[in-house]
Amino acid sequence: MMGFKQVTIYAALLAVDQTLASHTLVQRAAHSIHQKAIWHTHNLAQDLRVAFGTMLVSRANVDSSDHVVYCKSGSQAPFSSSEGNATSSASPTKSTGSAGKATSTIAGSSPTSTSTSAASPWNLVESHQGQDFFNGWSFFTGADPTNGIVTYVDQNTANSSGLVSINSQGHAIMKVDATAVVASTRNSVRITTNSQYNGGLFIMDSVHMPTGCGIWPAFWTNGPNWPVDGEIDIVEGVNNYTNNQATVHTNVGCTLASSNSNTLSISGTVVGGTDCAALTTGNQGCGIRAATSNSFGSGFNSNGGGVYAMVWDADGIAVYFFPANAIPADITAGAPLPDSWGAAQARWPATSCAPFQFFVNHSAIFDTTLCGDWASGVWSSSGLPGQEQSCAARTGVSTCEAFVRANGASMSEAYWEIRSVKIYQTQS
């Protein structure tokens, strides 16, 4: 376990780094602590990709075999998405045509959609779909902070080796290298939106997510300065899990108002503690597991996927899931009405976790790592939905790393297939 003192030093360094952007000593010290963190902790390192997620970039002029990482310069990623607007909630309506009004004439039906027209308070500001899906994302190429046996590659490499593509249906594909046998890592993809937000509605429509023994995918949001700026894991799990686990990790002071699902008005179950602070709980975070087995992994995929929506507003943060056959018409119409969606899968109410204090300047992120702290850590565990039998027993291989390195064929399900990612802000 990483000592708390180390964590404190580390956090202080991050603060220092905000002002001493390019100071080499600071970079080296942070790098050193990063390495120590990776080598000395499990619980914390599990989410250290978060800590370093937007700070670490590969050093362009070093050996590609040398996963040296360093703190990014103090300049924040600019709000550079041509469609994004993180600085104001008063951005003008974009050309979605349908934003702003729901209609009752949209094809298809949903158990939770309303039959009357209602104005959506949400305004589309950033949309990723079709041929342009990958515009507005940066490809992360640093070492995986969670110890996964992946090499995150840049966009050109990912494209030329077929790891990213747009399929004939216009869906974005992000795969993992399926070479039969590898000596150390498999190439994979991790992308982060260039834009950052304070509040918003993030809607991710997916047909397929990575799944299988050794595979650890996530769709999440994160601020530049972890854990002060918070982390929201919207979709996450490992191995053969079939029930999603949504989690927040924060600075000290954010708690989950209750551990009771009825009190929280959620369909999921609180599985971690109610103290969401990373530094005082070994980074357990406030985790909530979905009740339904079509919410993650093979259950999600065999059901045709579905839509995840994360609402981050003055009421707090909530994660909703709609399986493919029950997507509300207001979402399909581009005029989302979260108040009509019924119980959230997970929720962290504002009453005990100020949503604009503990979560700041978030980008959205997709990644797929292999083994690493979580998927390796539970390789021999069983008993969770989808994981009735451990991966060690299922594969007959005693370690995650040995299995993943020697079985490229097991990567056949390790891909994201995304219809769209849409980010909304409230209208003024």
Ligand X SMILES: *[C@@H]1O[C@H](CO)[C@@H](O)[C@H](O)[C@H]1NC(C)=O
The residues that touch ligand X, with contacts defined as CB under 6 A, are 76, 85, 87-88, 90-91, 134, 155, 159, 164, 211-213, 225, 240, 298, 360-361, 394-395, 410
Closer residue to ligand X, CB minimum distance, 237 or 328: 237
**Which residues have a Cβ under 8 Å from the Cβ of 198 and sit 6 or more positions away?**
86, 356, 359, 360, 361, 362
Q: How far is CA 255 from the centre of its chain?
A: 20
Q: How far is the CB of 87 from ligand X (least distance, A)?
A: 5
Report, in Å, the least distance between residue 298 CB and ligand X.
Answer: 3
In the complex with ligand X, the residue whose CB is nearer, 272 or 297, is: 297
236 a catalytic residue: yes
Give DSSP secondary structure letters for 62-96: S-TTS--EEEPPSSPPP---SS---S-S-PPP-TT
- Rounded to whole angstroms, the Cα distance separating 418 from 210 reads 11
Instruction: Indicate the residue among 87 and 325 with the shorter CB distance to ligand X.
Output: 87
DSSP 318: E
- Give 76 or 109: the residue with its C-beta nearer to ligand X: 76
In this complex, which beta carbon is closest to ligand X, that of residue 273 or of residue 377?
377
**Nearest approach, Cβ of residue 164 and ligand X (Å):** 5
Q: Which residues on adjacent β-strands are paired with residue 69?
A: 58
Tokens of 303: 């059901």
Question: In the bound complex, what is the minimum distance in angstroms from residue 76's beta carbon to ligand X?
Answer: 4
C-beta of 1 vs 90, nearer to ligand X: 90
Place of tokens 């993809």: 189
Cis amide linkage into residue 227, ω under 30° from 0: yes
List the catalytic residue out of 83, 126, 231, 413. Answer: 231
> Is 388 noted as a catalytic residue in this protein?
no
Closest distance to ligand X from the beta carbon of 114 (Å): 28
Distance CA 228, CA 289 (A): 24
d(CA 335, CA 171): 21
Maximal CA-CA distance, the chain = 61
Q: Which one, of 147, 128, 187, 180, lies nearest residue 34 by Cα?
A: 147
Considering the candidates 236, 388, 413, 417, report the single residue annotated as catalytic. Answer: 236
Q: Which of 84, 91, 128, 19 is nearest to 362 (CA)?
A: 84
The first and second tokens of residue 173, run together, are 């594909």
Q: Which residue is nearest to ligand X (CB)?
A: 212
Q: Which residues are catalytic?
A: 231, 236
